[in-house]
Amino acid sequence: ILCVFIFFVPEMNEYAQYIKDKPYEVWRLLTSHFAHWTLTHLLWDILAFVTLGTICEKHSTKGFIAILLPTPITLSLLFPIALPELEQYRGISGIDSALLGYFLAIELQRAHTNDKSYALSIIMITGVIIKLCYEFTNPSALFASHLGNGVINVPFVHLTGFILGLIIFYTTTFESITIKKLSLLEN
């Protein structure tokens, strides 16, 4: 809902986006991920977010919430370091990519007992690699290919988001497993 509101109120879209020359406007660390360049960009991001978010939230509300705040802020803090040439940024695809990484980790965990999950994991890993290779070697994103005149694809965000999703899954899962083992030892 926030993405749609920001998109359809043009002043909000511009007020929310990351702008390299405005580092002291700290709200942009979070809000830039909810602003979008075009309707196509918005629709692809929402489709991915709703689909992957629903799956991840059903698996673990804690894990889902752990993705929502740290991922956009971490990505935004990395922009000046990893992408010093990046002047402006909009889009929730970094969060979508974190959700994809989290979902892949769910399937990898299930793969220990389920051949279908193993096959799905292999397909997903292959798909992510192909998508990232395409985006690192082409000027446009694979799905939202036309972001507008002068707007560039930022595959670093997709790769970093994906890695963050994996990290968040394994850290939240490890913590849950450790707590369960400790409670079993106490009993």
User: CB-side exposure of 110: number of CA atoms within 13 Å?
Assistant: 16
pLDDT digits (tens, 9 = 90+) for 71-104: 999 999 999 999 999 999 999 999 999 999 999 9
Cα of first residue to Cα of last residue in the chain, in angstroms, is 45
Q: Hey, how many other C-beta atoms are within 10 angstroms of the C-beta on 114?
A: 13
pTM: 0.86
Residue 106 near residue 172 (C-beta atoms within 8 A): no
pLDDT digits (tens, 9 = 90+) for 116-127: 777 888 888 899
Q: List the beta bridge partners of residue 19.
A: 88
Two tokens at 38?
Answer: 């075009």
Q: List the beta bridge partners of residue 18.
A: 89
pLDDT digits (tens, 9 = 90+) for 123-148: 888 998 998 998 898 877 766 666 66
Element (H, E) at 100: helix 93-110
* Residues contacting 109, CB < 8 A, separation 6+: 173
Two tokens at 174?
Answer: 């490890």
Two tokens at 159?
Answer: 């790769």
